[in-house]
Structure 1
Amino acid sequence: MWMDTKTEAEEARRKHASLSQRVLNSLLSCTGDMVHLDKYMDDKWFVLQLAVWGLRGVARVILANNPLCGALILAALYWASPWQGLLGTLGVLTSTLTAVIMGQDSAEVSAGLHGFNGMLVSLLMGVFSSAGDWYWWLLLPVCLGSATCVFLFSGLAPVLDRWDLPVAVFPFNIIIVLYLLCTGHDNPYFPHHNAIPPGALEPNGTELIAVEVLRGIPLGVGQIFACGALGPSILILGAVVLYSPLLAVHAVLGSAVGTLAGLSVAVRHDSLYTGLSGFNGALGCMAVGGLFFTFSWRTHLYAIASAFLSAYSDIALRNLLGTVGLPACSWAATLTATLMLLLNGSLAAYRIPIGQVRAPEDNLRSRSQWEAGNTADRESTDV
């Protein structure tokens, strides 16, 4: 009798352990790049495939490649502003469909590489529009701008491929500047707000509120999607955690560095409180801290340096472009990350070829396996 009871208890423990393992495996399958999902979607309806491609494009804005992350981010945008969520959805679908019609590389389309620039263009058109929400005429430039991003991406890719550089958000930054220059703040159909030039506002006259500055750090992550609400910004950060905890750490660290850089040169308090001082630092830090470079203590220091350089460059570009009423967008982080990718020396040894970039944890695992293989080859050669 005692033996039967012991056997049943052991069997129950095995079943519980097996269930826990299955749950853990299911959760782990939702992290990283979810490559297995692409194989599963091969024979599915085009509409379902388009949805997955579009969600990957949404996540690509924040340097992730996971459709579940894209779904969380899209939910955060609709939470913050249904109109902005609609514009972002329209932008990513328009650019992805344009890439399909143009016959762009199927691997690039399915990875969302032709969707994220279109989404950013549509979001920024909505943010800078002075016509208010639900201004339906805005859908016309949103669709045209998002589609044009595909042409620019296709044209820039062969040039940048020579140096193994990503196209990144160069198309978005170019298109949004051209759109704002073409329309103007007093356009009868597509009016927009001008960026405030330096010196137009009175100097900071109130004391700095420490709580608001700390609140601006997670908002800096949300501002990558032009989202200035705290709850949605935290949800966006949670989406990054789902994709890669290491990338999320660098996102928060980069935003904090950008905020510190803003404090050091006494930028306006509004920029600190709303996260505008932090989002370029977050992007610059994420790009170097494990995405395009294998994570190590050396690349971690480079990531912090990249965040500082991105933040200070953003402040300089905002002051420069503000004189003609233009925003700096994400030019600072894009140019800084490109510069970091061109560096020689010790950092180049950690550089990951663009075609092999995965989640930071996968990049680190692949490098460990490669180094272990090289060590084994050397030992066998010595013998």
Structure 2
Amino acid sequence: MWMETKTEEEETRIGHASLSRRALKGLRLFTGDMKHLDEYMQDKYFVLQLAIWGLRGVTRVILANNPLSGALIMAALCWQSPWQGLLGSLGVLASTLTAVIMGQDRTEVSGGHHGFNGMLVSLLMGVFSSAGDWYWWLLLPVCLGSAMCVFLYSGLSSLLDHWDLPVSVFPFNTIILLYLLCTGSDHPYFPHHPAIPPRALVPNDTKLNAVEVIRGIPLGVGQIFVCGALGPSLLILGAVLLYSPLLAIHALLGSAVGTLAGLSMAVNHGYLYSGLSGFNGALACMTIGGLCFTFNWKTHLFAIASAFISAYVGIALGNLLGTVGLPVSSWAATLTTTLMLLLTGSLAAYRIPTAQVMAPEHNLRSHRHCDAGRTREKESTDV
């Protein structure tokens, strides 16, 4: 009787373990880059393929490549503002369709490389517009600006490929500045709000609220999508977590570093509370901390240093561009990470070629397999 009971308990335990493994394996299908979905979509209707390409483009903004994460981000944007959700969708579709019409590389198009710059341009146009929500004339510059991003991306890629550098968001940063310079705050059709420098003084803003500062850390992740509400920002952070826990940790860490840098420079409190002080640091920390470099303690410290540099550069550029009413956008993170990717020395050995960049966990496993293979080869040679 005792043996039978013991056997039943072992079978139950084995069954639970097997069920847990199957559940974990099923969960992994929805994490990382979801390459299996590309194989499944190869013979499907173009409209369905376009939707997946667009969702991948949405996640490229947060340096991810997961269509399910893209769906979560779109839900977060619609949650904060249906108008912003519409503009973001239109921007990513306009740029992706332009890339298809131009005959851009299919791998780049299907990977969302031509969608994220257009999405960011459309979101910034909507946020800075002083004409209010549901101003339909704004759809014209949104479509044109998003399409122009493809031309800039194509031209810059042929230049930056010589140094194995990603085009990143150079097209978005360029197009949005040109648009705001062309229109101005008193334009009869496309007026916009002038940007406020980080060091601008705010009346009666003398006492710092610690709770609001802490709240600004997750908002720094949301501000990557120009999202200033806590709930949608947490959903965006959840989308990063679904793609890669390592990337989510570095996103929060980079935003915290950016907030700390803002405190040290005594930026105005609204800049801290809204998360604007943290998003450039978050982007830099995510790029270096496991995405473009193999994750280890050296590159982790390097990512933190990059976040600090990016945050301080963001404050400096914000004060400079703010004098003429222009936003710093993500110029600080883009310039900082581009320079960091050009570094030489021992850290350069951990650099992942741009064409091979995937989820940080995948990069880490690939690095370990390569190290194990080199070790076995060395042992066989020694014998």
With structure 1 as the length reference, what TM-score do the two structures score? Answer: 0.97
SS in structure 1 at match of 2:381 = helix
| AA aligned opposite 1:85 | G
Which residue pairs with 2:269 in the alignment? 269
Cα gap change, 1:162 to 1:304, in 2 (>3 Å): same
Question: 1:258, 1:281 within 8 Å by CA — same for their partners in 2?
Answer: yes
Which residue pairs with 2:95 in the alignment? 95
1:381 Cα deviation from its structure 2 partner: 1.1
Mean Cα deviation higher: 162-171 or 16-25: 16-25
CA distance in 2, matches of 1:342, 1:122: 30
1:11 Cα deviation from its structure 2 partner: 5.3
Cα gap change, 1:297 to 1:9, in 2 (>3 Å): closer
Which residue pairs with 1:306 in the alignment? 306
1:17 Cα deviation from its structure 2 partner: 3.6
1:292 Cα deviation from its structure 2 partner: 0.2
Which residue pairs with 1:361 in the alignment? 361
Q: Within the alignment, does 1:168 sit opposite 2:134 as a pair? A: no
Which residue pairs with 1:317 in the alignment? 317
1:302 Cα deviation from its structure 2 partner: 0.5
Question: 2:199, 2:266 within 8 Å by CA — same for their partners in 1?
Answer: no
SS in structure 2 at match of 1:114 = coil
Which residue pairs with 1:233 in the alignment? 233
Partner deviation per Cα, 1:117-164 (whole Å, 9 max, x = no partner): 000000000000000000010000000000110010000001000000
CA distance in 2, matches of 1:199, 1:379: 60
Q: Where do residues 180-259 of structure 1 align in structure 2 (5 Å cutoff)?
A: 180-197=180-197, 201-202=201-202, 205-259=205-259
Partner deviation per Cα, 1:288-336 (whole Å, 9 max, x = no partner): 0000000011101110010000000000000111111111000000000
SS in structure 2 at match of 1:218 = helix
Which residue pairs with 2:106 in the alignment? 106
Mean Cα deviation higher: 329-338 or 26-35: 26-35
CA distance in 2, matches of 1:319, 1:236: 28
CA distance in 2, matches of 1:197, 1:32: 37
Q: Where do residues 1-383 of structure 1 align in structure 2 (5 Å cutoff)?
A: 13-197=13-197, 201-202=201-202, 205-383=205-383
Q: Which runs of 5+ in 2 are unaligned?
A: none
SS in structure 2 at match of 1:342 = coil
| AA aligned opposite 2:279 | F
1:201 Cα deviation from its structure 2 partner: 3.7
Cα gap change, 1:362 to 1:205, in 2 (>3 Å): same
CA distance in 2, matches of 1:307, 1:289: 10
| AA aligned opposite 1:250 | H
Cα gap change, 1:199 to 1:208, in 2 (>3 Å): closer
Q: Which runs of 5+ in 1 are unaligned?
A: none
SS in structure 1 at match of 2:332 = helix
1:92 Cα deviation from its structure 2 partner: 0.5
1:196 Cα deviation from its structure 2 partner: 2.4
Mean Cα deviation higher: 37-46 or 197-206: 197-206
1:9 Cα deviation from its structure 2 partner: 6.1
Question: 1:145, 1:175 within 8 Å by CA — same for their partners in 2?
Answer: yes
Counting aligned pairs with the same residue, the percent is 78
CA distance in 2, matches of 1:380, 1:174: 53
1:165 Cα deviation from its structure 2 partner: 0.1
Question: 1:80, 1:229 within 8 Å by CA — same for their partners in 2?
Answer: yes
Question: 1:197, 1:324 within 8 Å by CA — same for their partners in 2?
Answer: no
SS in structure 2 at match of 1:234 = helix
CA distance in 1, matches of 2:332, 2:204: 24
Question: 1:203, 1:268 within 8 Å by CA — same for their partners in 2?
Answer: no
Question: 1:66, 1:243 within 8 Å by CA — same for their partners in 2?
Answer: yes
Aligned residues: CA RMSD: 1.6
Partner deviation per Cα, 1:320-362 (whole Å, 9 max, x = no partner): 1111111100000000000000000011010000000010011
CA distance in 1, matches of 2:43, 2:11: 40
CA distance in 2, matches of 1:85, 1:206: 35
